[in-house]
Amino acid sequence: MATVYKLHREPSAKPQRKPRARSAARERKGALTKPQLARICIIANEAAAAHGITGWREVAAWRREQQRERFGLASLTAATQDQYADIKGHFQALAGNAAEAYETIRRGLDKRRVARWNLDKALREANLALPYAVAICRTQYRTALEDASAKQLWALVFTIRNRAAAKRRKSGNSSPPKYSENIPATPADPDAEGGYPF
Do residues 87 and 122 both lie within one domain?
Answer: no
CA distance 130 to 43: 39
Average confidence (pLDDT) over 11-31: 55
| Chosen domain end from 96, 120, 154 | 96
Question: Which residues, 6 or more positions from 89, have their beta carbon under 8 angstroms from its beta carbon?
Answer: 100, 101, 102, 104, 105, 108
Neighbouring CB atoms inside 10 A of 139's CB total 8
133 domain residue, yes or no: yes
36 vs 177, higher pLDDT = 36
Alpha carbon separation from 161 to 83, 154, 176 (Å, rounded): 27, 11, 10
The whole domain housing 68 covers 29-96
CB 46 within 8 A of CB 53: no
For residue 186, what pLDDT is reported? 47
Which band of pLDDT confidence, cut at 50, 70 and 90, is reported for residue 137?
Answer: very high
Look at residue 8 and tell me if it is in a domain: no
Upper half-sphere CA count for residue 68 (Cβ side, 13 Å): 8
71 and 133 together in one domain: no
Residue 197 within a domain:
no
How many domains is the chain built from? 2
Asked if residue 176 and residue 123 are part of one domain, the reply reads yes
Q: Tell whether 65 is covered by a domain.
A: yes
Whether 140 and 90 share a structural domain: no
Q: Is the pLDDT of residue 154 over 70?
A: yes
Tell me: pLDDT of 75 over 60.
yes
- 80 three-state secondary structure: strand
Full-model pTM: 0.49
Mean pLDDT of the chain: 80
Whether 58 is in a domain gets the answer yes
Residues 117 and 79 both lie in one domain: no
